[in-house]
Structure 1
C-alpha cells in the first residue's frame, strides 16, 4: 500500500510514540475490502445500546466553553500551551490539539443544558426550534462516548457509541491502533484517496464517500480515539480537498472557496438522507512554516472553518461533522517552504468506526 502510506506519512509509525518497540502482529490478508458498512462491522459483537436519555441526571449550570479548556486530563498528558480556545497537549511522544465542538453544535439552539451522570460523566442536551434534540454523553476526560439525535417523534439516531469498558480498563490514553496489525491496502490508491482536482463529476464525491472502510472494524471507537489514532483513521477512505485554498497563516474561507465545497456537501446531504446518523471527520493541515504548536491550532481552525461553511452555506447539521487539526505532521509535499498544497483539508466518512450501523437502519 505504498501510495497510501506515503500520503499519510507512513501509516505504521505515527501517533504511537513507542509503537515501534512493541511486538506487532504480522499483517493479515483480510481479502478484499468489505462490500458495505454492515459487512465492515461483522467482527463486532452486537450489544444492547442503552438510550442516551435513560439514566437520570442531575442538572447543573455549565457553560459550553468550559468543556475543553478545564477538563481533567489522564495521567501522562501534559498541557504544552493554551492558544485561545484551543489546548496543545503532549502524550506518548506526540503533540496534538484539543478543541471543543460544543459552540458549533449549540449555536442557534432553543435551549442547552447539562446534567451530571454517575461515574464522573456529563450529559449535554441541545434542543432546537424544530423539536430535534442532540444529546451527548462525555466521560470524565471530556471524550464523547455517546451522541444521538432524537427526532421530534422520539426516534433515536445513534451518531456515536463506544463501550465504556474500554475507558474503565485504562486510566490513560493509548493508541487503539496498537492492537491492530500493520495495514495492508489491497486496492489502488485512487480507490483509497480521492483528490478533488481529479473529480470530473459531482457524483464522484458521493460514490467515493459511500464506500465502506477498507478493512473490517474490530470494535467501535470513540470519535476522540479516531482523531488520535492514525492507524484507526486509515481504515476509512479519504477525500483530499486540494482545490480549496487557504491563504498563508489564515483559516478563513472566501465566498469563492466556499462554493468549491458544493460537490462534497451535496454528497453528504445525499448520504444523510439514507442514514441521518453519518459522521464525517474533517482534518485540517498546514505547511511546515511556523512552530508546530501554532500550526496545530491553525489547522484545527481550518477544519472548523470548513465545518462551519458546510453547515452555514449548505445546511449540513453540525452534529454530523467532527473536526481535528494535524498541523504539519502529514505534509503532502515534503518541503519546509510555504506550500499551498500542504494548506488543505481532508474528509473521511467514519460512521462505521464510531456507530453501530445496524441500530440506525
Structure 2
C-alpha cells in the first residue's frame, strides 16, 4: 500500500530532489532521519536514480483500515508531545510534600485473591472485549464534554471507559479489555492506558491511594518489611514520579517526569548502536554483558520520551527474551516456562542490588496477524506478564521495571504473515537514558 502511494506521487512527477528530511532539517539528512515525499512516504534513491519505498522501520505512516494513513514512531501525536518535554501539571505533584491528605483516600490490604499472577490470564478476554467493542460502537456515543473527564478514572478504574468515548486530547476509546484501554488519536495512532502500579500489587502489601480533584493520585505501597514505594500518577494513570523508601528511610528516586530536560530533536541524537547479534544471549555472561552496555548519550530523557520515541529508546539496544512463548490470544506464563527466566531474573536482581536506581523497560511485541488494536493490547499484557514472572519467581523488585507493548509496529521480521520471531518480549536497561537517574 505504501508502495502504491509512492508510485502515485512518482506518476505525478515526483523526483529525488523533491524528497525532504523527515524532521525538517536540510539535506543531507542525519543518519537516523529518513527522506520523505511531500505526502509523507519514506523513500530511498536506488543506484539508477529511481525512487523506491523505504523499509517500514523508516516510515512515518502505516496504511490502516480503509486505506487511511496512520502515524507511527516519532511521527505520532504522543511522540511529538513527549518530545517537547512539557512539565506535568498535576495536583498530586504539587501536594507531594503535604503530610495531611488533601484528597480522597482509599486503603487496600492485598490478598492472593485480589492480585494478578503471571500464570493467570486477564479477567476480560481479548475476544470478549473485541465483541463488546463492536456492540458499543453501534450505540450512540457520549458527547466529548462528558467523555473528556478523566478526573474520575483513578477512582472508577479503566473499566468505566466505554468504547467510542472521547477523552482529553481528542483520544477516542477503541478497545477496553477491563485492565487496559486502547485509545485512537486524531492522527490514527493508538496508545495504551493502563495502571502502571499493577506490578506493585502483591499479596501482603498495603496500598494507600490519595485521589485528587484533577484525577491525579499519590499511591503508597507498604510492604511487610516496612519498605515503601511511592508513586504519583497523572489522571490517565501514567507515572509522573516513583520513589522507593527503604526500611531505614533511605529514599531512591526511580522515575521523575517533572525533571527539567530539553526537547528532543531527532537529528541531534547520536546514532543508535548496532545490534551485537541477531539472536538472544544464551549464557549468563552474554546476558550480563548485553545489559551492561552503556548508552552513548550526554543528556537524559523522561520516561515518556523513552516509551514514545523510538529513536530515543534505540539509544540502548534491546535484549530479546527468547525463553518465553505464549499461547494464541493469551498473556499467561506457566510455572514451567517461568523457570526459563532464571538467568535473566538473576542478572536483573544482581544489577539492582549493586545500583538501586537501575530501571528496565520490558517490551512486548506481536506479529502482524489480526487487528492492530488487538495486537497492541495483547503485547502490553504479555510484557506485564514477563515482569510479573520476574518479580514472583526471582525477586526482581517490580518498582525497577516498567512495561510497554508495541503491538505489531516494530516487526523483527518484516512480514504480514504469522512469524514466531515477531511474537517476542525484550528488555532494555534504560538507567542511562533516564534524566532522573543522572
Common fold: TM-score over 0.5: yes
Contact 1:282–1:322 under 8 Å retained in 2: yes
Please list every run of at least 4 consecutive aligned residues from structure 1 whose deviation after the TM superposition is greater than 4 angstroms: 5-8, 50-53, 62-73, 116-120
Q: 1:329 to 1:355 in 2, by over 3 A?
A: same
1:232-247 correspondence to structure 2 within 5 Å: 232-247=312-327
> Does residue 212 of the first structure (1) align with residue 298 of the second (2)?
no
Backbone CA RMSD of aligned residues = 3.5
Contact 1:146–1:162 under 8 Å retained in 2: yes
Separation (CA, whole Å) in 1 of partners of 2:56 and 2:424: 14
Residues 172-198 of structure 1, C-alpha deviations (whole Å, 9 max, x = no match): xxxx65x332654374420xx6732xx
- 3-state DSSP class of the match of 2:399? helix
- 3-state DSSP class of the match of 2:241? strand
> Does residue 185 of the first structure (1) align with residue 229 of the second (2)?
no
Separation (CA, whole Å) in 1 of partners of 2:282 and 2:362: 22
1:144-223 correspondence to structure 2 within 5 Å: 144-163=239-258, 177=264, 179-181=265-267, 183-185=269-271, 187-190=273-276, 195-196=279-280, 199-217=281-299, 219-221=300-302, 223=303
Separation (CA, whole Å) in 1 of partners of 2:349 and 2:295: 20
- 3-state DSSP class of the match of 1:352? coil
Displacement of 1:233: 1.4
1:230-309 correspondence to structure 2 within 5 Å: 230-309=310-389
Displacement of 1:247: 2.8
Contact 1:7–1:332 under 8 Å retained in 2: no
Residues 12-53 of structure 1, C-alpha deviations (whole Å, 9 max, x = no match): 77423369xx9xxxxxxxxxxxxxxxxxxxxxxxxxxx9995
Displacement of 1:151: 0.7
Contact 2:365–2:408 under 8 Å retained in 1: yes
Aligned to 2:173: 79
Q: 1:242 to 1:68 in 2, by over 3 A?
A: same
Displacement of 1:333: 1.3
- 3-state DSSP class of the match of 2:433? helix
Contact 1:146–1:161 under 8 Å retained in 2: yes
Contact 2:324–2:340 under 8 Å retained in 1: yes
Contact 2:391–2:397 under 8 Å retained in 1: yes
Contact 1:12–1:182 under 8 Å retained in 2: no
Aligned to 1:26: none
- 3-state DSSP class of the match of 2:254? strand
Displacement of 1:355: 4.8
Aligned to 1:10: 58
Separation (CA, whole Å) in 2 of partners of 1:8 and 1:93: 17
TM-score of the pair, normalised by structure 2: 0.63
Q: 1:107 to 1:315 in 2, by over 3 A?
A: same
Separation (CA, whole Å) in 1 of partners of 2:318 and 2:56: 10
Aligned to 1:356: 436
Q: 1:186 to 1:286 in 2, by over 3 A?
A: closer
Residues 299-342 of structure 1, C-alpha deviations (whole Å, 9 max, x = no match): 11110110111011111111111111111111111222221111
Q: 1:7 to 1:146 in 2, by over 3 A?
A: farther
Separation (CA, whole Å) in 2 of partners of 1:310 and 1:355: 25
Unaligned runs of 5+ in 1: 23-49, 167-175
> Does residue 108 of the first structure (1) align with residue 188 of the second (2)?
no
Contact 2:193–2:237 under 8 Å retained in 1: no
Residues 278-299 of structure 1, C-alpha deviations (whole Å, 9 max, x = no match): 2111111111111111111111
Bigger radius of gyration among the two: 2
Q: 1:258 to 1:51 in 2, by over 3 A?
A: farther
